[in-house]
């Protein structure tokens, strides 16, 4: 249903189906035979990062790396539904673009909208050629995804900024070329945040990998100790980060259809259970149905947001509801596999292991689940905030 209570039809039309078929055909022609096993290395592993550069270069050659960009920027001018199709097909395959999905989903469009001519000339060509790898310096110890409370400071000193602070849960930081870094330039909660585009080989930056179950090199701590950044690497104006990040996150969350990968993993797990006559138990079937329902609820919530964008409407706090619905779906499928197919996580199914690695971080990636619940409570349900 839309905001007026009308039923919404999310069926793909013929052109959209043809576009999806072109994507699946590309995967069939380019993914190696051992891709499912290879993808278990993790999207931020050195091996997959290197593979992704070649894969994304091939995508670019076929006009499939960033078809949703405007034609004047080298894209095909396709819309949000095609962007969604691109993301769904790639994520269901285990995301062979590695961390480069961030570049084409939101870093590139953000640079196109807010970047200076010099910044666009420097950063866009490596993105459109499938060579660049970025990381985003958002979350911090003690503040998580609550951007208004970040403390990493950037002090203006003539034509440079001196940056000090720490980021955490930073995906791809170990191999990234550039960091999309949020810093504090004044004490104002929201108007005091400024974005710097920081090369990761700048002196004073230390990256430490956080050991985890989700694949090699995926999450890190990043320390900034008297890091000197030229003022020309500031994106937008001082204090404009809140506006820019709002634009960026709309694109980021549109381009990460975790519910689609979760449903593909659920279907794979059910097929394994059926093949050995283990799907007849009522408890198994009930739990599978619950997982399927959660996946479809997340899909419909996300699709409603896409349709709002197609119609030129403004996406608000309902994005957090869709985001949390996706977290619930991911967690449920992970738990289903762990309970009824534990051997899949011990090597019997590389695909389900790949999903598990990505699914268990669903409550952290693209905004912590707890922050999304706070937004839902205050902005959707209108509940009062508890005094501190």
Q: How far apart are CA 163 and CA 156, in angstroms?
A: 9
Q: How confident is the model at residue 358 (pLDDT cuts 50, 70, 90)?
A: confident
pLDDT over 90, % of the chain = 61
In a domain, 151, yes or no: yes
In a domain, 233, yes or no: yes
In a domain, 173, yes or no: yes
In a domain, 316, yes or no: yes
Q: Which domain holds residue 314?
A: 257-380
Strands annotated E in 293-360: none
Q: For residue 196, what pLDDT is reported?
A: 98
Q: How far apart are CA 243 and CA 339, in angstroms?
A: 43
CB of 267 closer than 8 Å to CB of 336: no
Kindly report, residue by residue over 260-269, the tens digit of the pLDDT.
999 999 999 9
Q: How confident is the model at residue 70 (pLDDT cuts 50, 70, 90)?
A: very high
In a domain, 251, yes or no: no
Kindly report, residue by residue over 329-343, the tens digit of the pLDDT.
999 999 999 999 999
Are residues 102 and 77 both part of a single domain?
A: yes
**Number of independent structural domains in the chain:** 3
Are residues 262 and 371 both part of a single domain?
A: yes
Last residue of a domain, one of 210, 241, 272: 241
Last residue of a domain, one of 132, 166, 200: 132
CATH number of the domain enclosing 44:
1.10.540.10
Are residues 149 and 211 both part of a single domain?
A: yes
Are residues 201 and 295 both part of a single domain?
A: no
Q: For residue 43, what pLDDT is reported?
A: 74
CB of 154 closer than 8 Å to CB of 196: yes
Given a cut of 90, is residue 71 above it in pLDDT? yes
Are residues 292 and 343 both part of a single domain?
A: yes
Last residue of a domain, one of 110, 132, 154: 132
Nearest C-alpha neighbor of 351 from the set 39, 98, 91, 4: 39
In a domain, 248, yes or no: no
Q: For residue 14, what pLDDT is reported?
A: 92
């Amino acid at each position: 249903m839309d905001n007026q209570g009308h039923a919404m039809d999310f069926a793909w039309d013929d052109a959209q189906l043809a576009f999806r078929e072109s994507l699946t055909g590309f995967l069939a022609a380019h993914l190696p035979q051992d891709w499912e096993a290879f993808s278990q290395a993790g999207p931020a592993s050195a091996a997959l990062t290197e593979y992704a550069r070649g894969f994304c270069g091939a995508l670019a050659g076929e006009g499939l790396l960033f078809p949703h960009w405007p034609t004047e920027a080298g894209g095909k001018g396709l819309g949000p539904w095609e962007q969604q199709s691109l993301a769904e097909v790639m994520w269901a395959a285990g995301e062979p673009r590695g961390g480069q999905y961030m570049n084409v989903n939101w870093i590139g469009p953000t640079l196109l909208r807010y970047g200076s001519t010099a910044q666009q000339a420097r950063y866009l060509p490596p993105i459109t050629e499938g060579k660049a790898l970025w990381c985003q310096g958002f979350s911090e110890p003690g503040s998580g995804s609550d951007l208004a409370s970040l403390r990493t400071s950037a002090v203006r000193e003539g034509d440079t900024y001196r940056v000090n602070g720490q980021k955490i849960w930073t995906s791809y930081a170990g191999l990234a070329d550039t960091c999309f870094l949020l810093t504090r330039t004044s004490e104002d909660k929201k108007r005091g945040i400024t974005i710097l585009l920081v090369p990761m080989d700048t002196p004073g930056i230390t990256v430490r990998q956080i050991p985890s179950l989700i694949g090699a090199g995926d999450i890190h701590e990043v320390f900034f100790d008297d890091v000197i950044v030229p003022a020309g690497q500031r994106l937008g104006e001082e204090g404009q980060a809140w506006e820019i990040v709002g634009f960026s996150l709309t694109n980021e969350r549109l381009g990460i259809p975790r519910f689609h990968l979760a449903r593909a993993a659920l279907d794979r797990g059910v097929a394994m259970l059926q093949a050995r006559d283990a799907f007849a138990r009522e408890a198994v079937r009930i739990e599978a149905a619950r997982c399927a329902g959660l996946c479809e609820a997340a899909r419909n919530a996300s699709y409603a947001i896409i349709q709002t964008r197609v119609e030129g409407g403004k996406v608000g706090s309902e994005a957090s509801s869709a985001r949390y619905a996706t977290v619930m779906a991911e967690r449920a499928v992970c738990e289903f596999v762990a309970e009824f197919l534990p051997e899949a996580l011990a090597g019997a199914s590389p695909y389900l292991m790949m999903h598990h690695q990505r699914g268990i971080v669903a409550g952290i990636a693209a905004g912590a689940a707890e922050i999304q619940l706070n937004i839902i409570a205050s902005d959707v349900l209108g509940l009062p905030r508890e005094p501190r």
